[in-house]
A and B are shown apart, each in its own frame.
Chain A
Amino acid sequence: MVEEIGTTDKGELIINVGPQHPATHGVLHLVITLDGETVRKVEPHLGYIHRSIEKMSESLSYRQFIYATSRMDYLSAHINNHACAMAVEKGLQLEVPERAQVIRVLMGELTRIASHVLWWGAMAMDIGAFTPFFHAFREREMINDIMEESCGARLTMNYMVPGGVMYDIHPNFHRRVKEFIAQFKRKLPEYDELVTGNTIFRARTRGVGVLSKEDAISYGCSGPTGRASGVDCDIRKVQPYGIYDRLDFQQIIGTEGDTYSRYLVRMQEMRQSLHIIEQLIDNIPEGDFQAKTKAVLKVPKGEYYSRVETARGDFGVYLVSEGGLTPYRIKYRSPGFSNLSALDHTVRGQKIGDLVAIMGSFDLVIPDIDR
């Protein structure tokens, strides 16, 4: 009966937020218990777009399964693919050419900026400002065009193959990336002017949804969400992969753990990514863009785990091979899933408007959670 009336016995309202709701950015379903405007409990119900990519991958070859990961966290598709390719390379003990490594990192950082830019617009929209969303798309579009030119697709690139990248970068790549760097440097202060400095935005985010360092670790939060709480969990620093150990960049660590801090960490990260791109764009070494591989890949028996830092955090591929043509078992550790588990803890006691702001700052991508 309680379910039917939609109130608890304490007289609190039970509301379904989603699966179709403007603030969930996808088909996330939250059942929230409201006491007036105050949120008492949030209970995520997942699975609306669960495609069981893990099961699918068990019947795909080592070349084929990579494409499916683009469909998980579609905003950092490139970085997901990187993790998969790395897991296979670990198994095959493949040496990836230097040029391919640099291209991978370059594309990865461009993807990260594209993802953060979109998040910036979406977060502002969650809080009620519509204009930033369109401004964000201006810069995102430039990155998408670069991707389209070099990788052949805008969102689900599938540019990674085990041993390197699918094709060499486009001749226009240098020029367009430089144009982007110039444009982005000019526009970033505008972002701050429009949103960061805005007093309403600050009031909406400061001190809202505080996640302490201990809780962030315990909940397995990673990426900007974890770092805003003071956890140094940037995989690029703590367990460097690719050529990140040779690059000069900072791990942005916040202190407050509130929504504003998560916002600032992402804004700073965009600048760091830009810094990485600037370092690399003129120093792409000559050479092969792909290592020589056999037509049919057979990963030796064993277990391989590769971790990368996607735009949302610690993405892991746990690959169990029995030596066959297909993986025996694949587990994708998605950052969104762990971050979402901290949502209930963070939101309790906040207002319903804060729920939206906090969800925006967690930067949830639902296919990443549902896999």
Chain B
Amino acid sequence: MWNLAQLTDLIHRWLYETFPPAWALAFEMIIVGIAVIGLFAGLGLVLVLMERKVSAFMQIRLGPNRVGPKGLMQSLADTLKLLVKEGMTPDGVDRFLFNLAPFIAMIAAMLLMAPIAFAKDFQIWDLNIGVLYVTAISSLNVIAILMAGWSSNNKYSLLGAMRSGAQIVSYELSAGLSILTVVVLTGSLQISDIVTAQSNGWWIFKGHIPVLIAFVIYMIAVTAETNRAPFDMAEAESELTGGFHTEYSGMKFALFFLAEYINVFIVCAIGATLFLGGWMPLHIGEWSAFNGIMDWIPSSLWFFGKTFFLIFLMMWFRWTFPRLRIDQLLNLEWRYLLPIGMVNILLVTVIAILKWHF
């Protein structure tokens, strides 16, 4: 099959042959930057449209259907609207932090793109502590939210930010523990290692019930971490009118909005990589015939298919469930997810040591 690795190699060789190494590196960085920003924008458009369509169908509506064929251009029109809107900075805000916060949110989301394997041998940076890197950077998001909430000089924003702080900090634990199960099974923090370890079956199938539980916990925890309903305490539209981004408008709001969707994409991508094999096609043990057929489907399709399936799952949650209250939210974490997660990691460790997994 056609391989993205060949393309990247080609560009790499050509750059190094024509330019001095320093220049070549700089060009490579620029290309990667443009690619990431392009992916960002593209993902934002696709995900917003997807969310609107999914919610519409669940709510027995049609959703956007006027701009472009079947409403496909709707999010483009929305972006245009947000771009030309006046970027207001209200009186009485801490101007520096207020304007900085959306960028922090964006940068945190962008940094997370680095270790994700989009396809076979197609990865920006395959660092050997990939998983650790992801967990570390994803907590940066809370800083942006706290900054936005505090600097807005609005009580609703402040309440939203404080809720978000409590929420993200506690749910990090569960997310971390469930990620750890796969790390324990694989024995590596490197994303490419984790994917290759699933070449004879995805972890969710190989790791018995404990990994399944870890997967469920992971999905719940990351839903909370990305501040999406039913855990959208930071926004809580009916309570806090918009929470931390109450005072934001125009492009600054759009950055928050985009960052939310990118975060959703990234946590789902990580989830797909850890539990569903990332770009690895559906392989079953040593059935080479079956595996061979599966290999015919390009690896990037596998990756995006799995990721979008998880994103759809999160959207499904969002448009079905009511919002939890802040104390119930923390209760869920500390009373249910964390103890179960801890017992679970113990079980997984036993499985990993005794090599009981397939």
> Interface on A for B, CB 8 Å cutoff?
6, 13, 15, 21-23, 34, 37, 124-131, 133-135, 138, 194-195, 198, 200-201, 203-204, 351-356
Contacts and interface: CB of A to CB of B under 8 A. Distances in A.
Nearest to B318: A130
B324 A200 contact: yes
A126 B322 CA distance: 9
B328 interface: yes
B241 to A, nearest CB: 6
B59 A352 contact: no
A200 B323 CA distance: 7
Contact of B59 (A135, A195, A201, A355): A135
B319 interface: yes
B241 A138 contact: no
Contact of A353 (B59, B60, B239): B239
A197 to B, nearest CB: 12
A351 B326 contact: yes
Given A353-B236, A353-B326, A356-B238, 11 more contacts: A6-B155, A21-B241, A22-B241, A126-B238, A127-B323, A128-B230, A128-B236, A200-B321, A204-B323, A204-B324, A351-B325
A126 B163 CA distance: 18
A20 to B, nearest CB: 8
B113 interface: no
Contact of A203 (B55, B58, B155, B328): B328
Interface string B143-165: 00000000000011001000100
Contacts of B240: 352
| Secondary structure type dominating chain A contacts | helix
Contacts of A201: 322
A284 to B, nearest CB: 32
Contacts of B58: 131
B327 A351 contact: yes
Contacts of B159: 34, 37, 352
B287 to A, nearest CB: 41
Interface in B35-61: 55, 58-61
Contacts of A23: 238-239
A34 to B, nearest CB: 8
Nearest to A23: B238
Contacts of A22: 237-238, 241
A195 B322 contact: yes
B170 to A, nearest CB: 15
B322 A352 contact: no
Contacts of A354: 325
Contacts of B322: 124, 127-129, 195, 198, 200-201, 204
A128 B59 contact: no
B59 A198 contact: no
A200 B230 contact: yes
Contacts of B59: 130-131, 133-135
A194 B324 CA distance: 15
B6 interface: no
Residue picked from B229, B238, B322, B327, most chain A C-beta under 10 Å: B322
A201 B236 CA distance: 15
Interface in B301-355: 319-328
Residue picked from B163, B230, B240, most chain A C-beta under 10 Å: B240
B238 A125 contact: yes
B156 A15 contact: yes
B156 to A, nearest CB: 7
A65 to B, nearest CB: 36
Closest 4 CB pairs of A and B: A128-B323, A134-B59, A129-B322, A127-B322
Nearest to A134: B59
16 contacts: A22-B238, A34-B159, A37-B327, A128-B230, A128-B237, A128-B323, A129-B320, A130-B319, A195-B322, A200-B321, A201-B322, A203-B325, A204-B323, A204-B324, A204-B325, A351-B327
A38 B51 CA distance: 33
A351 B229 CA distance: 18
Contact of B325 (A15, A21, A130, A353): A353
B232 interface: yes
A124 B322 CA distance: 7
Contact of A13 (B155, B232, B325): B155
Contact of A352 (B55, B61, B230, B239): B239
Contact of A131 (B319, B324, B325): B319
Contacts of B163: 37
Nearest to B61: A134
Residue picked from A130, A134, A351, most chain B C-beta under 10 Å: A130
A358 to B, nearest CB: 12
Contacts of B229: 128
A186 to B, nearest CB: 14
Nearest to A351: B325
A360 B55 CA distance: 23
B162 to A, nearest CB: 9
A307 to B, nearest CB: 33
A130 B55 contact: yes
A262 to B, nearest CB: 16
Nearest to B235: A128
A352 B155 CA distance: 13
Interface string B125-146: 0000000000000000000000
B155 A128 contact: no
A200 to B, nearest CB: 5
A352 B232 CA distance: 14
A354 B326 CA distance: 10
Interface string B262-277: 0000000000000000
Contacts of A204: 322-325, 328
A203 B324 contact: yes
B7 to A, nearest CB: 43
Contacts of B230: 128, 200
